Amino acid sequence: MTTRSPPRLATWLLAELSSSGRLEELIGDLSEQFAAGRSHLWYWHQASGALLLDLGQSLRTHGRSFLCAVLAGYALTSIWVFANGVVFGPLYQSLDASAHPDSLMRFLGLRAAQASTTLLVFVSAWLVMRIHRAHQRAVLVTFVAALIAPRLPGIAHLAIGVLAGTQSRSILVPEIVRTSLQATYTPLIGLWLIRRDRFAEMPRWIRFVSVMTVVITLLSALLYDLWQVGAVSYPIPARYGVDAADIGCGAYLAFLLWRRESHSLRANSVTGAAAAGSQA
Amino acid sequence: MLAVLRLGRDAYGVPIATEIADRTGREILQGSVYATLDRLEAKGLVISELGEATPQRGGRAKRYFKLTAEGVRQVRQAQRALEALWVDLPQGAGTKA
């Protein structure tokens, strides 16, 4: 006898987004009823209802700390970006991709600015997840959405300008790259911070992708800074290619770490439930 | 709790939801069954244990629930309270004049 498979997307959403401790049993119940003849619509209704119940429960229990975490991360980022603008603004304004006698100092200044930005991402992701520990992935995603959302109207405006021929692509693409890098690397670093196993204990593939991501990120930043101080020529197609590889690698590593976190949470929930069952 | 009590050894998510739907005439969310049972378990009114997995469930185990002695006591107490509230209620009370 063959068993009807329940809608995969609904099951996946439930498995990834729900923080219920009875997730496996719930999906099992829904699958059993679906196999007995319930409709796709019924399954989606049950899955979305379970997620809404879960969200309501989480907001009632943890809403305040969730909001505090996102606001604290946002405030820290805003202050840091403002301070960076004050400190490194003159340096950025003086860059014109041509060689100067003080190129080395400029390059070191750019490296310092990059280090400051990297430190900001680490500190803000750590702070957000420290304040709200109950749903670390959810708070991380919300924090990133809060950082990215204000930039989207500007990007849309630039994109419309490019389509209408009133704006240059050379303004739009760096803005998209900056936003994509932030949208990728903030959750990536957050997921890296909450990982449950050490680097040496991770699967070989994740370790390989991690090393590749770090290498590409460093290479991309170095090349860009060297080009900005006029030390190397860095044609636009090569720049776009390296940026795309940087974003793609980071996004793929974030996906791998997210999935790994889901699996370990599920394993913990099953082990915890089994332990509770045996105690009962 | 009454649904768990009625179902006895068969009290897991699906029959509990079906029992409530059949008795009340209202379809309920499967997720709300677990949300309620989780709260009851935290209060020590029910206990649960993992059961068998079936292919229809995608290989996922069932979780069976059972009332504790305290749970049964509270159900009886609620029943007595409800019955007491009905005593001496005039015929037709609550209907429009």
- Chain A CA closest to residue B18: A33
What ipTM was assigned to the predicted interfaces of this complex?
Answer: 0.86
- Beta carbons of A32 and B17 less than 8 Å apart: no
Residue A32 with chain B: CB contacts under 8 Å: 14, 54, 56-57
**Best B10, B36, B56 residue to mutate vs chain A (most A CBs within 10 Å):** B56
- Beta carbons of B30 and A33 less than 8 Å apart: yes
To the nearest whole angstrom, how far is the Cα of A145 from the nearest Cα of chain B?
Answer: 28
What confidence tens digit (pLDDT) does each residue in A134-178 have?
888 888 998 999 999 999 999 999 999 999 988 888 888 889 999
Residue A267 with chain B: CB contacts under 8 Å: none
Residue B51 lies in a domain: yes
Among candidates B17, B29, B58 on the partner chain, residue whose Cβ is nearest the Cβ of A28: B58
What's the pLDDT score for residue B9?
A: 87
What's the pLDDT score for residue A165?
A: 87
To the nearest whole angstrom, how far is the Cα of B21 from the nearest Cα of chain A?
Answer: 14
The enclosing domain of B31 has a CATH number of 1.10.10.10
In chain A, which stretches have pLDDT less than 50? 272-280
- Beta carbons of A31 and B34 less than 8 Å apart: no
What confidence tens digit (pLDDT) does each residue in B19-40 have?
999 999 888 899 999 989 999 9
> Band of the pLDDT at B65, cuts 50, 70, 90?
very high
Question: For residue A114, which of A258, A219, A245 has the smallest C-alpha distance?
Answer: A219
Q: What's the rounded Cα separation, in Å, for the pair A158 and A149?
A: 15
Q: What's the rounded Cα separation, in Å, for the pair A152 and A156?
A: 6
Residue B93 lies in a domain: no
- Chain A CA closest to residue B65: A277
What's the pLDDT score for residue A34?
A: 93
- Chain B CA closest to residue A46: B29
pTM: 0.67
**Cα dist from B36 to A154, B5, B29, B65, B77, whole Å:** 46, 15, 11, 12, 19
Q: Which residue range(s) make up the domain with B81?
A: 2-86
What's the pLDDT score for residue B42?
A: 92
Strand ranges, E, within chain A: none
Residue B97 lies in a domain: no
What confidence tens digit (pLDDT) does each residue in A59-94 have?
788 888 989 999 999 999 999 999 998 998 888 887
Domain boundaries, chain A: 48-265
Q: What's the rounded Cα separation, in Å, for the pair A252 and A29?
A: 32
Residue B91 lies in a domain: no
Contacts of B23 (CB under 8 A, 6+ apart): B3
Q: How many domains does chain B have?
A: 1
Q: Residue B67 is inside which H or E element, if any?
A: strand B61-67
The residue count for chain B:
97
To the nearest whole angstrom, how far is the Cα of A257 from the nearest Cα of chain B?
Answer: 24
- Cβ proximity of A100 and A106 under 8 Å: yes
Structure tokens at A15: 């498995």
Other beta carbons within 10 angstroms of residue A85's beta carbon come to 11
- Beta carbons of A25 and B55 less than 8 Å apart: no
To the nearest whole angstrom, how far is the Cα of A21 from the nearest Cα of chain B?
Answer: 9
Residue B96 lies in a domain: no
What's the pLDDT score for residue A57?
A: 82
